Structure 1
């Protein structure tokens, strides 16, 4: 396989995997999980999609990987303990979305990717970024995919226990409810929803509801035995692909290959 290319795009760390010939090709952009794999390099190892004839550029999420405060997870964990929604998860998603247009422009300046529609993929919290790119920007997208996605941020916050919502946090959490945005998603691109059968029950329910709401613009790939993570802890450095991640990778590969063929 061609070696990964690492760098930064408008300040955003990335790990890029070239197509087999290393030449000009379409672009798929991904955003990783906060669970393992929790960095762009680790996500690239877990879901490389090596047989997709496209550049796969895995972006680092804010406060993760190379952008961890003080080089460790401690500061991020403290923010999650302090206020998981307003101090951690929402700022991460908001920053990742805001920095994407400049990062995309920089990727296109650095790598031989074409200027046509892109693919987007997000895992866990990264799914909220990918879905927000779909419903909140005009970047052309030929297909999207989410894996164990944060489809309703309210369901993610529930994993932290009772949360003291107020008017501002209610507005924020409702802005990241993508079942409510199903019509907008359906109007933008077909979406593959990958859901582990052992994922958190709330996230699993949201995945099924989103597929139902999207109708024929979506497909569900249900993975028996898959819980929420896609890699072993600590999930920061590249690691061998786990068998269940290989199943996810195969499904993503087939999905993006099919829609790339239709987009050309």
Structure 2
């Protein structure tokens, strides 16, 4: 279905909102794929409204995360909350990011068949837990990626568990298995895997100055670890946004809404990043 310039549909069973590049949308252009937050904006349509990336001359395809929107769990938000409280690593971070990453190769093939995108390296965007999906795709999907932009991302599963501990006052139920999974979902520890990619992507992390301290720490440590490993450290950037908390839209964030001024600032930073790095040839 098409509404103005936005195209909604499904690719390999995954719902999306696609925004064509400026012009008639028929010429071949780069592809940028995004995954939204579990916080506001929490659906592909709402994320497309919050961060449309209008200035990026590319197809921007905003994918729906598992457990959200059209793919909401039976029981809705209460069911998600119950899983988070039970085990934030094994029952929340891991299954959502694993499904999002596992389904991506088929989604990408379907998008390339449906839209006039070029066959060059793509761009990835992820917000909050959607950032964890983007990092998991980056390190595991064997897809050439030219540039990545993350906003308030879930870089370490342990940090998400710490947030849940603080919110509930209950210690996380760590087991040998959950520790192994948390190690695998620690992308600071896996900075070498990112730097070793060919091409190694230009990577931007946008961090709200009012975001959770643990997530801000992870953003700083990931970008520092990558700068140490990149031959061109300038291809890694941490951008701090004054006044930005964790969400990018007003609650509840299920439906498209007018873009907030702070989200507009995030979009400006991301647009500059993709304009500089998406079309160029990535190098280590």
Normalised TM-score (structure 2): 0.90
Report deviation, 1:2: 5.4
SS at match of 1:249: helix
1:94 is matched with 98
1:145 is matched with 149
Moved more, 13-22 or 128-137: 128-137
Report deviation, 1:88: 1.9
Gaps of 5+ in 2: 166-170, 228-232
Aligned match for 2:69, one of 65, 69, 87: 65
Aligned match for 2:251, one of 224, 227, 233: 233
Report deviation, 1:73: 2.2
Report deviation, 1:260: 2.4
Q: How far apart are the structure 2 equivalents of 1:235 and 1:243?
A: 15
SS at match of 1:230: coil
1:201 is matched with 213
Aligned match for 1:167, one of 167, 176, 187: 176
Provide Cα deviations, 1:44-80, integer angstroms capped at 9, x if missing partner.
Answer: 1111000110000011000011111248323222222
SS at match of 1:96: helix
CA contact (8 A) 1:32 1:58 kept: yes
Moved more, 70-79 or 221-230: 70-79
Q: Is 1:252 aligned to residue 252 of structure 2?
A: no
CA contact (8 A) 1:84 1:160 kept: yes
Q: How far apart are the structure 1 equivalents of 2:21 and 2:83?
A: 38
SS at match of 1:263: coil
Provide Cα deviations, 1:58-113, integer angstroms capped at 9, x if missing partner.
Answer: 11000011111248323222222332221222100110010000011111111111
Aligned match for 2:135, one of 131, 135, 138: 131
Aligned match for 1:45, one of 37, 44, 49: 49
Aligned match for 1:218, one of 228, 236, 247: 236
2:9 is matched with 7
CA contact (8 A) 1:18 1:56 kept: yes
Q: How far apart are the structure 1 equivalents of 2:173 and 2:81?
A: 19
Aligned match for 2:21, one of 19, 22, 30: 19
Q: How far apart are the structure 1 equivalents of 2:130 and 2:160?
A: 12
Dislocated runs of 4+, deviation >4 Å: none
CA contact (8 A) 1:143 1:259 kept: yes
CA contact (8 A) 2:191 2:222 kept: yes
Report deviation, 1:137: 2.4
2:192 is matched with 183
Q: How far apart are the structure 1 equivalents of 2:152 and 2:261?
A: 16
Gaps of 5+ in 1: none
Decide whether aligned partners of structure 1 residues 72 and 164 sit closer, same or farther in structure 2, where only a CA change above 3 A counts: closer
